Amino acid sequence: MGPPLRDLQLTAASTKGLADAGEEESLLSAYDEENSGNLHTIQVRVTGMTCAACSNSVESALMSLNGVVKASVALLQNKAVVTFDPALVEDEEFINAVKDAGFEAEILPDPSTSCSKPRETLIGHFTIGGMTCAACVNSVEGILRELPGVEKAVVALATSFGEVEYAPTIISKDDIVSAIEEAGFEASFVQSNKQDKILLGVSGIASEMDVQMLEEILCNLKGVRQFYFDPTSECLEIHFDQELLGPRTLVDLIESGSYGQLKLLVKNPYTRMALKDLEESSKMFQLFTAGLFFSVPILFMRVICPHIPLFYSFLLWRCGPFQMGDWLKWGLVTFVQFVVGKRFYVAAGRALRNGSTNMDVLVALGTSASYFYSVYALLYGAITGFWSPTYFETSAMLITFVLFGKYLESLAKGKTSDAIRKLVGLAPATATLLIKDKGGNVVGEREIDALLIQPGDILKVLPGTKVPADGLVVWGSSYVNESMVTGESAPILKEINSSVIGGTINLHGLLHIQAYKVGSKTVLSQIISLVETAQMSKAPIQKFADFIASIFVPTIVILSLFTLLGWYLAGVLGAYPKEWLPENGNYFVFSLMFAISVVVIACPCALGLATPTAIMVATGVGANNGVLIKGGDALERAQKTKYVIFDKTGTLTQGKATVTTAKVFSGMDRGEFLTLVASAEASSEHPLAKAILEYARHFHYFDEPSSRSDTQNHGVGSKSFGWLLDVSDFTALPGQGVQCFIDGKRILVGNRKLMTDNYVAIPDHVENFVVDLEESARTGILVAYDNDLIGVLGVADPLKREAAIVVHGLLKMGVNSVMVTGDNWRTARAVAKEVGIRDVRAEVMPAGKAEVIRLLQKGGSIVAMVGDGINDSPALAAADVGMAIGAGTDIAIEAADYVLMRSSLEDVITAIDLSRKTFSRIRWNYVFALGYNVVAIPVAAGVFFPWLRLKLPPWVAGACMALSSVSVVCSSLLLRRYRKPRLTTILEITAE
């Protein structure tokens, strides 16, 4: 581990504090119950406890003190809560009592003060190396969750990645890294969610004085939070506050502060992570080839040499106490066992030290048994003259096959993260920065690294190049291909004030854009972050695998011991003939081979990889198809979906409402009527308000020349049209409309409820006109001025072309569709009839959508909600599966489980279909993992040997074990062939 990141503005974090919830809650509840009268409660950290007997000893020692009312000891958290009378016992006595019991102790801060103020937490990402199976994951997660200040910890085996939510005032990221490394794993910090990080290559460092100069420059820069310089790789890592400092400004200040001596080159942090994956695969390949190089000669001596007299006579030549063949085998295998196979001993020792077991324990146990028995057989033969068979080739071939399996596994696991690498590859490398003078005139250009773009920069985007950052077009027009980010194949026209996404491709015209989102805030970065988070997540079904993994290895070890004892006792008692024994062998050797095969063939790796690899591939496939999945739990719920609730406006419809009718029922001039309505709606953000404003603008366009300049300057949605009237006391009434005052008179624009609540009469002929509009799937908007109803607007929002087919397709999949809208019943029914939805909930307030979801959930059904992710957030959060549709430029919607990048309803079917395919694959993975062991372990244990003479030599068992996890990973990789259902085939889908 390198030196820790230098912390400039944060004080040293204390390692004392609160730990995980769960058991902590019971301790604190005990504190609350007993903290009455003159009794006090303290927390004592106890180190050295390893089992329940230890915790009982500590508890007894504390309870023996005079004045102690209650003592509760939490083994997993190494903590005790003691309720006592301070007049009878002092704090020091607790420490002495625990020490007398044989443990170390320290008093922790008062929990009442620690919990009184909410603390801010960070989410840190860490790379974790050295994990081999689900048991390792459980061990690391357990270590992290026990650390004080850590709220949550999730570790992913398939990505060697960990996400930890922690309180920086209690524990630092360096403490977290140290805790992981002390447990025997490798760890490094990647980034947190509250700070931007920049990785720089530094040239020009010639001496320690130059390093000190660099540190001095960084210490004096406002906004730099932490930095770390690695002299070996000449790599500088800086964490900074983006509100105070931009990346390009940071680089410029460092270079200018060194008077040009230091030159900085920005590096992509994801590239370094990809190199780590490559290094792991390369290391595994080197170990495998080394093992193969030394194992092949051993196998050659065992199988081929006996048929070649010259070679065989050389092997039989006695050299000292042993034959030459024995010396060669011993030397070759010793190198394989303790040099090539060193990693298994290190990992096994690490696991045992942490009180857990994993695959490495099985490999180390099986190979050690084979190796040390062979050594014993040689020494015993040299002393007694009775030469038993040796099994050196078993140990060597076993290690070689396991390493081959780990190498194939690393390659397969590497392929599962292709989606992230592809997304990273979308990011542009460079950008052209336009340099302007104070008057806003372009005076030059500068080629910069795209990672150095800052908010507010004006960038030139040439035809055929990538858009360098999220921003707004300030000059020019062109078509942009956004399919690589949103999945939308058709190019999108971009004009002034249009938003653009970094990583998309400018097709034709020249554009000038102003960057407004950079670094981790860009759409592409957030997509990468979502995919990473999803690939790290654990589906609830993973709990089953974690439980099995926690008991798997001990069970196999016990089973192997029973196998050894069973065959040995059966032989001694004469239950099978001596003809079954190997030449010069005995009952113990015969039994030992069965026991070693059992140990070797059992592998929890396949079980641990069954779910995460499938989820990784699925999230990557989803991202490539414009469907972002936020986690394995979302996948598991979505595949059981029974109801899909659609919002009407903007989801089933195109969200581009247009005014089709404007009827005036008073003597007012049509232009005056539209001016009143547009003035009232100008302050509203509702889609219907924008449609009304657009309609009125077109009416006034030819009447007032000034409106042309207004349109050019402000756009369609502007509130600064010259012909708009001044309004006062504007109020938006959700589910009803708007009201305000113009010239001292109240104007109401909305539905019937708004009118009746304000005692505005609706004449019959107006009511009939509105009914006709609603029955033709248009929304009627009533307008009242000075308590008189003066007119009606008819607004239509066309349905999406695929809406009816998608609803029908969902029904074929066994999923019922429900439409929820705040619109009136007649319009809702007309739209639902056109789409094919039978279940309609109309005139529902925004908060009422969540209530509709809860009603459907009462029967135990899984309910999905499809909305636009803005005003549907409560419903998206209430649903079992929230799907935010058309959120290409608003990717970070916390309420949704799925983010559908396009506005197409086809992606709803894609999301559900992909979820079902994924969990079908996961089930097959568990069949492969568990079925393999169910069949192979009895064969390895010799259950069928008495009848079929069928047995599994240990080296063959090693080959089977190595291939088991690879088969599971390759099964998951089949999901990469997933193709989303097309509209032409959706109707052919049938419920599973």
How far is the C-alpha of 971 from the C-alpha of 415, rounded, in Å? 12
Contact assessment for residue 238 and residue 250, using Cβ atoms and an 8 Å cutoff: yes
Tell me, what DSSP letter sits at residue 305? G
Tokens of 923: 């089930």
Contact assessment for residue 199 and residue 5, using Cβ atoms and an 8 Å cutoff: no
Q: Which amino acid is at 104?
A: E
- Cα distances from 865 to residues 88, 785, 830, 838, 886, in angstroms, run 61, 38, 21, 17, 14
Instruction: Give Cα 853 distance to the centre of its chain.
Output: 27
Question: How much of the chain is in helix, strand and coil states, percent to nearest 5?
Answer: 50, 20, 30
The contacts of residue 652 (CB under 8 Å, 6+ apart) are 646, 799, 800, 803, 819, 831, 835, 905
Determine whether 948 is exposed, middle or buried from the number of CB atoms within 10 Å of its CB (0-12, 13-18, 19+).
Answer: exposed
How far is the C-alpha of 566 from the C-alpha of 559, rounded, in Å? 10
Catalytic residue among 647, 823, 868, 872: 647
Using the CB atoms, write b or e for 621-641: b if 16+ within 10 Å. Answer: bbbbbbbbbbbbbbbbbbbeb
Tokens of 865: 């909600």
How far is the C-alpha of 14 from the C-alpha of 168, rounded, in Å? 9
- Residue 764 sits at the vertex; the CA angle it makes with 759 and 767, to the nearest 5 degrees, is 80
How far is the C-alpha of 851 from the C-alpha of 858, rounded, in Å? 11
**Biggest distance spanned by C-alpha atoms of the chain:** 124
Q: Which amino acid is at 681?
A: E
Contact assessment for residue 748 and residue 783, using Cβ atoms and an 8 Å cutoff: yes
Tell me, what DSSP letter sits at residue 208? H
* Number of alpha carbons in the 13 Å side-chain half-sphere of residue 785: 20
The contacts of residue 416 (CB under 8 Å, 6+ apart) are 158, 535, 613, 616, 617, 620, 969, 972, 973
Tokens of 299: 């196998």
How far is the C-alpha of 817 from the C-alpha of 797, rounded, in Å? 20
Using the CB atoms, write b or e for 149-158: b if 16+ within 10 Å. Answer: bbbebbbbbb
How far is the C-alpha of 644 from the C-alpha of 817, rounded, in Å? 5
Which helix or strand (DSSP H or E) is residue 187 part of? strand 186-192
Unique residue bearing structure tokens 């029904």: 811
Instruction: Give Cα 457 distance to the centre of its chain.
Output: 31
Q: Is 647 a catalytic residue?
A: yes
How far is the C-alpha of 242 from the C-alpha of 263, rounded, in Å? 22
- Please give the backbone phi and psi of residue 945, each rounded to the nearest 5 degrees, phi first: -65, -40
Indicate left, alpha or beta for 199 from its phi (over 0: left) and psi (-120 to 50: alpha). beta
How far is the C-alpha of 969 from the C-alpha of 133, rounded, in Å? 13
- What is the C-alpha radius of gyration for the chain, rounded to an integer number of angstroms? 36
Strand order in the sheet with 458-461: 442-449, 430-436, 458-461, 511-517, 470-475, 499-500
- Which amino acids are annotated catalytic? 647
